[in-house]
Structure 1
Amino acid sequence: MQAPIAKKIPFLLENHGHQRQDNYYWMRDDERQDDEVLAHLRAENSYCEAKLAPTQHRQKALFEELKSRIKKDDNTVPVRDGKYWYHSEVSGDQEYAKHFRADTFDGQGKTLLLDVNELAHGHEFYDLADMAVSPNEQCLAYCEDYSGRRIYQVRFKDLLTGQLLADELSDCEGQVVWANDNQTVYYVKKDPQTLLGYQVFRHRMGTAQEQDELVYEEQDRSFYMGLGKSRDESLIFIDLEATETSHTYVLDANDANAQAVELTPRIMGHLYDVDKLGEQFYIVSNLDAKNYRLMQATTQTISNPDAWQQVIAHRESVLLESVELFNTYWLVTERELGQIRFVVYQHEQGQMLGEGNVLAFDDPCYFAGVGMNPEPNVSKARIYYSSLTTPGSLYEFDLASGERVLLKQQQVQGDFDPALYQSERLMITARDGVKVPVSLVYRRDSFSKDGTNPLLQYGYGAYGITIDPSFSSGILSLLDRGFVYAIAHIRGSEMLGRAWYDAGKLTQKQNTFNDFIDITQALIEQGYGDADKVCASGGSAGGLLMGAVVNQAPHLYRAIGCHVPFLDVLTTMLDESIPLTTNEYDEWGNPNDEQDYHTIAAYSPYDNIQSQDYPHILVTTGLHDSQVQYWEPMKWVAKMREHKTDDNLLLFKTDLESGHGGASGRFKSLEEKALEFNFFLTALDYED
């Protein structure tokens, strides 16, 4: 079967005196209804299926293998909120969870709140986002997306009668916040074109959405908007976040007619996160503190940063990430040398008492995060923990003693034995002398440091998002076939602090690509992988990484997985009508500025395709992707087919029902993973 060859319609783009010819610009269809576009996507899907048909048996076996490790009947640990305990359950082959609440921890008086399987019935895609119970615990608001575009509808359920209420909200972000009167909810409305949330509305139960009151509108389209509620539930936060600046407005949660009040003046370059408990505000702030410090303020001083009091000072080698507030403790999340840790400080009415105590974990590299702790008047905290060899585990820590109790650990079905696997943390020296962290895992009995193992290297490297080493039952399918799996903690994340992020964006973005390439070379040289069996994978901004890497160092890789990839960076960042563009000028640069234009042009994957040999490449996307539009990978594949000089596989698969997050459901999403794994094994000529 021949690969689909797209028609070429010349389209000239000119900026700053520089011309680009885009022969595939015609592939953009904002309505996603163009017959020719859809026909081409279906042709690519058919081609992908045909080329992998000889190994279809293995792909099906991989899917069943991935599925077999998942416990079919499972539940979450109940969480106390108010007078009820909340948990979810999954069972059998059902794709989605059922959500319950009960009178006790052990489930007495259990009541079904939502059966997501019923809500998703008849829909190819379904996503349930925020679920918010009213303060009097009598009404449930929940947010639904049927397309994958992350445009949510909000519905309300009377928990006393079990009936849906007439109230419905449309075109929302996936969250709502209740005021304390149980009759008022706040939500963020999205711009239908850019999909940017920029307006906060107040809805009064029992009225039509058309009557809702606009509470706040943000004029600067570089900000994302979200809602939250303070730890003491006295305030509703309107959180505005740009790449380099934060801004917060508050509403009195006890006043159904409250007006939005600026919490503290907007200062360009000031990034912060704020919470309130009792009479004190706590602010994790980067003012005069690149890696953040913890500040404290009162109602009288919160509007004046010069009057804030320091609680935890800035440290050059420690990134202060967040603080969880309890009546007598602060649980602080920090990161040093790339590793998360938790420090507990005791306090009395906001005054610190003594030194902090570090909560201990065991693995050389791991991921951990503060779990749901809705009530501040306790001395215990839940922390989720996982490593490359340790399945997800929920611990409850006694904040006074530091002692921990395991509440639940992910059960991996089958013959999984964690003792069979080994993880490592390496520091690889990049070409400019900077040491870059790498997390590795492999199976002990199949690994030999002689350069014979296949290697899969994963990376992201953008937005300050850190990809911590955590357990994946899916990756076992490759480890058990002899692979080494490596996570490259490249610049662009915050793995080594805020400076690590700054060194991988804007004019320094090339560091991200150099780091990934240099890590690949070093792992080969150190015997962690066979030079002829190196695979790499990344999605979204990590897909941009894949696109840049294969342009710049195609010889290093045998196969590439490139998922929902951001590939046409220059054209997208020049178009303010595309979702997310204006929010990301501080990440990639604003190409309306000539210097930024040329910086982006130097690495933009679509603009730098060359006539050269490329690795085997699998590209996946969703037609309804709201983050990276489907036409970016579609154009990239078409242009790649035109220019590449090899006979390697170039496969393109579009899920015609999903968005940026891929297929919905706990089993259906495994089909995408089975596809990628089978593609890698096929590219490596692996024999079962």
Structure 2
Amino acid sequence: MKPTLFTLAATLLMTTTLSATAAGLPAPPDAAKKPFTVKAPHGAQRGDEYYWLRDDKRKNPEMLAYLNAENAYVDAYMKPLKPVEDALYGEIVGRIKQDDSSVPYRERGYWYYSRFETGQDYPIHARRKGSMEAAEEILLDVNLMAKDKGYFSVGDYAVTQDNQILAWADDAVGRRQYTVRFKNLATGEVYPDVIEGVSPNLVWADDNKTLFYVENDPETLLTVRVKKHVLGTPATSDIVVYEEKDDSFYMGIDRSRDDAYICISVHSTVSSEFRCAPAADPKEFFVLAPRERDVEYDADHLGGRWVIRTNAPGADGKPAPNFKLVTAADGARSRKEWQDWVAHRDDVFIEGFELFDGFTAIAERSNALERLRLLDRDGKEEFVKADEPAFSMGLSTNSEHDTEWLRYTYTSMTTPATTYELNTRTGERKLLKRQPVIGYDPEQYVTERFWATARDGVKIPVSLVYKKGFEKNGRAAMLQYAYGSYGSSTDPGFNNAVVSLLDRGMVYAIAHIRGGQELGRKWYDDGKLFRKKNTFTDFVDVTEQLVEAGYAAPDRVAAYGGSAGGLLMGAIANMAPDRYRAILSQVPFVDVVTTMLDPSIPLTTNEYDEWGNPEKKDYYDYMLSYSPYDNLKAQDYPAMFVGTGLWDSQVQYWEPAKYVARLRDLDTGKQPVLFRTNMEAGHGGKSGRFRRFREQAEMYAFMLDQLQVGGPAAR
């Protein structure tokens, strides 16, 4: 480790930065300070001079004026870089096959698929009866539905068991509050029935007229009630089927693999519960196994039995943190009736499964990589093969269980998303589709796996990609990405936009830091609650060792993260600002303590077991010790590009707004801080497959300027 190398390099670059593009700009916006005290139940108090930027209704003229002023400042700063942004956008979009379609799948006699037309931003959802040679039936043309809207998304759609009626959920704001509508597929008639304020999760009963859906709380957006709607009746008379009283749980609804049951699942960070009813007559829902703290499970049904993935200890009392598979008879109603089937292993994390008549496909993680294990009915097992050192493999859409064919997806940092179909009896493999990437030659790029050593001795996997011919001479620019929260693993898949960076000689690295589940449940547990700081120090340690190994120059490293990954960006900016030349932070969760003290904010109560409940002083103190907003201080910060959406329901816009305002007050450096608010979008940014790349191109143009990266290398 050579910290002085970073410090010296950063100082030298500061005198030669290309950010002279900002010369002559007016001063950045300066938000007004208004005294406000945030109080905790145990008596702790903190001043928050920018708390006033919060407006739940998004109508405060002073707040909107500030956000618009920040956007105008970004426009002015980025104007000289517009040619770079346009070039990046043109490259990214130019690699996309515009008239593309998904791999069709068969369900109840129809082949379902989605397709795009040239120049269109949104998909057309369609089907064909019997074969792909039959006439096309358009279910939804999202381009027509989204016309003249700044944002539009179809979150889910479902067709009745008799194939006649379509229900779909759409969102025209970006706040993830969906509206359900209905359409007769034979006549094209859109029914007058409308249901508002729901989650995009729809399930029909067997009677072809009763729809089960999940209703959100209008303020917290928590999934609180399952209701059923009967076509032709007013939504106001919909019956509550189940209401969840514990606001630390999320809720979903689905049909079992064999279509025999409709199941409501509720789950928190550390507990789950399933309640199911016969799909033919879903009047009464039974509990498969009552919830218990620190016991998680999910279940499916086929062949007269339940198969359950769980971390519950068995009869021997041994824990199963990496999960195992158990079975239960059709009438089982408690954990006592579960029988171990696929044993728990310390070195293999079971992530999911898919049931078939003759075999079971098990999605696992081993040595920080995904794999698929095929388990025959007679107990014989084998693994689906992969050919690269770093890759991502998972289950695809397998809509039918009475087949010998398994569909799965494969990708790597050099291989575009690929869908295969494997005959589990003969071993025959069919390539169904490889995502076309126009002008891209995978042979021109190299991916590898690197292991860094954390400061506490733990080995951290890192996935890398660069253009062939790259030399590890310590001169290159590098973008390092990570997420590291909620047990969400960041797998090394193909990224179209990153190709533009590789063609300019950059290295792209994914740090598989603690907080995900790449190395099993312990990897997650060691990156949350009172061990959350491991996530941040892992990221910094990876950066230092990649630089020492020659993958990047110490003064040409950028970091990128979004949402909880934006928390990561804020933490490393406070902890190790001299390690990064630029930081890209999208919809960042940076005001941890204040947000987690407010149960009215979406996601707060569901996440006490992820971050801690700051109403308890020990959690409060620990969270306060790393919360990016609270730990800003007088020091030189890297150049930053911070993005948000005004209608974001997961990380509210005011978190990054407050963060940038306070950062500007305390930053003693001279590097630019840009703050872009999409005034028409939510957590995921702009809708549509092209428009979001415009945002990414702007952010990348800013980064390339900071890292002094020129145009693409000759192919």
List per-residue Cα deviations over 1:30-86 (Å, max 9, x = no partner): 000111111100000010111111111111111111110001111112110011111
Provide the secondary structure at the position in 1 that maps to 2:515: coil
Between the aligned partners of 1:259 and 1:89, the Cα distance in structure 2 is 39
Q: CA deviation at 1:408?
A: 0.7
Between the aligned partners of 1:495 and 1:401, the Cα distance in structure 2 is 31
Match of 2:574 in 1: 551
Question: 1:226 is aligned with what amino acid?
Answer: G
List per-residue Cα deviations over 1:121-152 (Å, max 9, x = no partner): 12100011111010000001111000100000
List per-residue Cα deviations over 1:268-318 (Å, max 9, x = no partner): 1111110001310000000121100000001233x2212211110000000
Match of 2:69 in 1: 43
Q: CA deviation at 1:20?
A: 1.3
List per-residue Cα deviations over 1:179-227 (Å, max 9, x = no partner): 0110111001100000001100011111010110001000000000111
Provide the secondary structure at the position in 2 that maps to 1:80: strand
Match of 1:350 in 2: none
**Residue in structure 1 matching 2:255, options 212, 215, 229:** 229
**Residue in structure 2 matching 1:242, options 268, 275, 290:** 268
Question: 1:424 is aligned with what amino acid?
Answer: E
Between the aligned partners of 1:467 and 1:403, the Cα distance in structure 2 is 30
List per-residue Cα deviations over 1:516-567 (Å, max 9, x = no partner): 0000000000101110100000000000000000000000000000000000
Q: What is the RMSD computed on CA atoms of the aligned residues?
A: 0.9
Between the aligned partners of 2:660 and 2:550, the Cα distance in structure 1 is 33
Instruction: Indicate yes or no: 2:452 matched with 1:421.
Output: no
Q: CA deviation at 1:89?
A: 1.2
Contact 2:288 2:334 in 1 (8 A): no
Contact 1:241 1:247 in 2 (8 A): yes
Match of 2:539 in 1: 516
Provide the secondary structure at the position in 2 that maps to 1:608: coil
Question: 1:299 is aligned with what amino acid?
Answer: D
Provide the secondary structure at the position in 1 that maps to 2:193: strand
**Residue in structure 1 matching 2:182, options 156, 168, 175:** 156
For normalisation by structure 1, the TM-score amounts to 0.98
List per-residue Cα deviations over 1:243-265 (Å, max 9, x = no partner): 01111111221115x12222211
Match of 1:435 in 2: 459
Between the aligned partners of 1:242 and 1:462, the Cα distance in structure 2 is 15
Instruction: Indicate yes or no: 2:290 matched with 1:260.
Output: no
Match of 1:454 in 2: 477
Provide the secondary structure at the position in 2 that maps to 1:164: coil
Between the aligned partners of 2:681 and 2:324, the Cα distance in structure 1 is 40
Match of 1:294 in 2: 325
Match of 2:10 in 1: none
Match of 2:365 in 1: 335
Between the aligned partners of 2:398 and 2:462, the Cα distance in structure 1 is 32
Instruction: Indicate yes or no: 2:468 matched with 1:444.
Output: yes
Instruction: Indicate yes or no: 2:609 matched with 1:580.
Output: no
| Match runs of 1:181-580 below 5 Å | 181-256=207-282, 258-288=283-313, 289-301=320-332, 303-347=333-377, 353-414=378-439, 416-445=440-469, 447-580=470-603
Provide the secondary structure at the position in 2 that maps to 1:75: coil
Provide the secondary structure at the position in 1 that maps to 2:443: helix
Contact 2:504 2:710 in 1 (8 A): no
Match of 1:179 in 2: 205
For normalisation by structure 2, the TM-score amounts to 0.94
Provide the secondary structure at the position in 2 that maps to 1:606: coil
Structure 2 gap segments, 5+ residues each: 1-25, 314-319
Question: 1:495 is aligned with what amino acid?
Answer: E
Contact 1:324 1:330 in 2 (8 A): yes
Between the aligned partners of 1:493 and 1:117, the Cα distance in structure 2 is 36
Instruction: Indicate yes or no: 2:139 matched with 1:139.
Output: no
Between the aligned partners of 1:67 and 1:300, the Cα distance in structure 2 is 53
Contact 1:359 1:402 in 2 (8 A): no
Question: 2:109 is aligned with what amino acid?
Answer: K
| Of 634-643 and 329-338, the range deviating more from structure 2 | 329-338
Structure 1 gap segments, 5+ residues each: 348-352
Match of 2:7 in 1: none
Question: 1:308 is aligned with what amino acid?
Answer: W
Question: 2:507 is aligned with what amino acid?
Answer: V
Provide the secondary structure at the position in 1 that maps to 2:55: coil
Q: CA deviation at 1:390?
A: 0.3
Contact 2:536 2:568 in 1 (8 A): yes
Provide the secondary structure at the position in 2 that maps to 1:375: coil
Question: 1:266 is aligned with what amino acid?
Answer: R
Contact 1:330 1:344 in 2 (8 A): yes
